Structure 1
C-alpha cells in the first residue's frame, strides 16, 4: 500500500457541500433502509459495505430464526422501492431465518435499479474525518466535507461526503468474556476454544460440539438460541453436555413472559426455562469470569468467582454470547457525544440503558436523540445502541427515517417520531445489564 495509490480529491473553493453524496456505512437492514429513505427524498447516497454482498453480517448467523415476523422487518421506504421492482413480500406473520432475511429482502433491495449502482462492496471504512481537519479544528467545520478512507483489498480509496450515517453494526466486536470486560490474560492460548455468538450448532459447526462439553456465557436471546440447539444435539450425540453461566442471580430476561407480544420471543424464553428445570442445561448463576487458560487435551479452564468463592470449570469450548460493543476506532477524529456507560449517543442512552430500564419498553427517538457535536454525522441501527440490548429493526428504521427528513431540510418531520414496538412483558430491574447479549430482530 503506497501513498501513490490515493486519489487526489478537490473541492470547489466555495467549500460548498452541494453535489456530494450522503455516505451510509453498512449495507445491512438499517443501512439499506437509510439509503431508500434518502433516495425517496431526492438525496444522492453512496453505501459502503465491507462484505461481498448486502447483509454480510446477517449471513454469519443466517441459520438462526428471527423472533420478529416479516411485518416488523421491512422498512416502509425500502418496501416501496421493492414494490416498484415487482417484489412479492413474504407472508407478514411468518418468521424468517437470517439467511431468508438476506435472500428474500436485502439482496432484492440492493439489486433495485435505483439503489444497485450506489452500493460499493468489499469496501471497509477505516477512518472518518473532515477533509483537512482533525477533531480539534472548529472554524468552517460544518461546511467542510467529510473524508472517508476505504480499504478495498490491498488498496486504499478516499471518498468525500456531505453527511455520514454509520450503520455498520456491532457484530464484529463482541464484548469480552471476563466479568471485567477485558480479554483473557493469554488470548492466543485459548483462541481456538472460544466461539462467537450464534454458532451453527446443528449445521456447519456440529462437529465442534458433538460429544463435547460447552459453556455458554451470556443472559440474552443469543445465548438462549444456542442453548436450545445444544440441547437438541445432546439428544442426538452422546457425551454432549451443556453448562450455561450468567453473572446475575436470575435469567428473568431470557425466560421472558407469557405476555410477550412477540410470541416467538416468549417461546424462546419458555423453552430455555424448561430445559433448565429438566436438568438438561446446567445453570451456573452469579458467576463472574476472571480468566481463561488452556488445559490438557485442547480443553480450556474458566476461572471465576461465585458468591465470593473461587470456582473453576474445565470445558471443551466457550460460546461468547455476552453481547457486542461499537467499534469506535474509525471515528477518532469525529466529535462524538457518547454516554460513558453504554456508549450510545448521550441523549439516547437514558432511554435504553439496561441499568435504568428493566422492561422491554423503548421510547420513540430520532434525530434529536441521535445528534452529535459533529454536524451531519449520525450513528444508526445497532451501533447507535452502543452496548445496550434489545434493539429491534423497527427502531433502526424509524431512526433513519428521521435522519433522512433532517438531511432533506424537513426538520419538523424529523422530530415527529412515532415508534410502537412489541412489548416483552418482562419488567425487572435486577441485574438488567446482564441481558446485553439479547438478539436484535
Structure 2
C-alpha cells in the first residue's frame, strides 16, 4: 500500500480553509445534484465515487422500474447544467428503469464540462476526520480542514483536504440483517451461498439461479414486492419454481398500498402482490420472526424462527434478503456526528421520518437545519440521511442539497427557506404494532432513489 499525503493548502494564518473545495461523497443522483448546486453558486467542489462510473449503485438494480416518473427525478440545477449540451429531458410522465436513470440522466450529467473534471471514480472513502484532530479535540475545530482518506483500488491511498463534506454515499451496499434480531445468520459462511441481496435480476442475469427452485423472500417493503412479482412470472415460465414470502408482522397492508397513491406504479405494485397472494401464487408466511438460517444436508437452506409461540421452519433453495438498508457510518468515527439511536438519521430529522410514527409520503420540508451535526460543515444527504427509514424520495434529496449548497455559499436565509411537496402514498397508518413499517413510501422499491 502506498500513501499520498494531502498537499499543504494555500492558506493564511487566519483561515486554514481558504482555497479548499467542498468534498461530495458519491456520484449518484443526490451527490451529482449536490455538486451541480454548489457549482452554480461558485463553490469549488470535488466528487469522490467508489464505482467506475456515475450512478454505479443505481446500475446494480438497473433492471428495476422506479415508482416515480421523470418529472420527480431530475434536479433543477442539474438540468441547467445539462441544457447547454443539447440534452433533452425524457418524457415527464415516463417511469424509467434504473438503467435509464443512469444512461439518460446521470452519465450525461457527469460528463458535462463543469462536472467531468471534478469527479474521481474508483475512489472509495474509508475515513473522514479533521486534519491533526480526532473527535475528542475541540479548540479551533470548525476552522480546521477535513481530512479524507481515499483508497483508489490499486493499493494506493490518498489523503485529501476539504473545507466541508457532503456524504451522499447512499445505503444500497449495506443491507439490514436477515434475522429478526437485525443480525446476519450465525453460520454466515455456510448460509451465504443461499442468500442474495435485494432486487436480484430474476428474469435476466439471475434467472438460472431461481428457475425451477424454491425461493423465500424476506421483507415487507417494495423491494420485496418487486421481487415477488418477477418470481411469480418466472414460476409461470419455469416449472418447479415456487415463491414464499416471509414477513414479521400480521399483515403486509403497507405493501398492498392504496388506490389513492399519487404514484400509480407504487399503488399498482401493491395490488399485484395482493392478487398473487390471494391466487396462491405466492405463499405468505406472516408473523414469522427468523432467529437463524442454516444450510441443510441436501444442499438447501432452512430459516428457523417463531410464529407467535410456535416454532417454525421454512426451507428453500435461495433466500432474498429484502429487509431494507442501513447507513455505513464506519468512515465517520472520528467526526462528531449525532444520529438518532433508533433510525440512525440525523437527530433533528429522525422524528420527521421515523417509520414507527410515519407512513405517508408527505414528509415535512427539511434542509440544512435538520441535517446539521455538531461537526461544523459536515452533512449527510440523500438516502443515507434517512438512516434505516425507507421513505426516501429523490425530490427530498434534491431539496436537501439545495439547502446545503446555499448554506455553504453563505446564504443562510435561503438555506432555511425550504419547500417540498411530495406525492401521497395513500397509506397513513401509524399502528406499528399491527402493520409493517418497512414500506418504501417513495423509494424505488426500497432502493436508494425514485
Report the TM-score when normalising by structure 1.
0.98
- Which stretches in structure 1 are left out of the alignment for 5+ residues? none
Q: How does 1:196-207 map to 2 (within 5 A)?
A: 196-207=197-208
2:438 to 424, 434, 437: 434
Distance in 2 (alpha carbons) for counterparts of 1:251 and 1:411: 43
Q: Which residue of 1 aligns with 2:126?
A: 126
CA contact (8 A) 2:390 2:438 kept: no
- Paired residues, what number? 439
Q: Which residue of 2 aligns with 1:291?
A: 292
What are the Cα deviations for residues 337-377 of structure 1, in whole angstroms up to 9, with x where unaligned?
10000000000000000111133321100000000000000
What are the Cα deviations for residues 12-67 of structure 1, in whole angstroms up to 9, with x where unaligned?
35242111000000000000000000000000000000000000000000000111
- RMSD after superposition: 1.1
Moved more, 293-302 or 38-47: 293-302
Q: How does 1:14-413 map to 2 (within 5 A)?
A: 14=13, 15-153=15-153, 154-413=155-414
CA positional deviation for 1:393: 0.3
Distance in 2 (alpha carbons) for counterparts of 1:435 and 1:308: 26
Moved more, 101-110 or 248-257: 248-257
SS in 2 for 1:297: coil
What are the Cα deviations for residues 127-149 of structure 1, in whole angstroms up to 9, with x where unaligned?
00000000000000000000000
Q: Which residue of 1 aligns with 2:418?
A: 417
SS in 1 for 2:229: helix
CA positional deviation for 1:100: 0.4
CA positional deviation for 1:8: 5.0
CA positional deviation for 1:297: 2.9
1:9 to 7, 20, 26: 7
Distance in 2 (alpha carbons) for counterparts of 1:76 and 1:298: 52
- Classify 1:185/1:370 alpha carbon distance in 2 versus 1 (closer, same or farther; 3 Å): same
CA positional deviation for 1:7: 2.6
Moved more, 10-19 or 207-216: 10-19
CA positional deviation for 1:438: 3.0
Distance in 2 (alpha carbons) for counterparts of 1:23 and 1:220: 33
SS in 2 for 1:92: coil
SS in 2 for 1:435: coil
Distance in 1 (alpha carbons) for counterparts of 2:82 and 2:45: 17
CA contact (8 A) 2:402 2:415 kept: yes
CA positional deviation for 1:161: 0.2
Distance in 2 (alpha carbons) for counterparts of 1:233 and 1:10: 58
CA positional deviation for 1:430: 3.0
CA contact (8 A) 2:5 2:160 kept: no
CA positional deviation for 1:428: 1.3
CA positional deviation for 1:429: 2.0
CA positional deviation for 1:280: 0.4
Distance in 1 (alpha carbons) for counterparts of 2:266 and 2:194: 29
CA contact (8 A) 1:394 1:421 kept: yes
> Which consecutive segments of 4 or more residues in structure 1 shift more than 6 A?
none
- Which stretches in structure 2 are left out of the alignment for 5+ residues? none
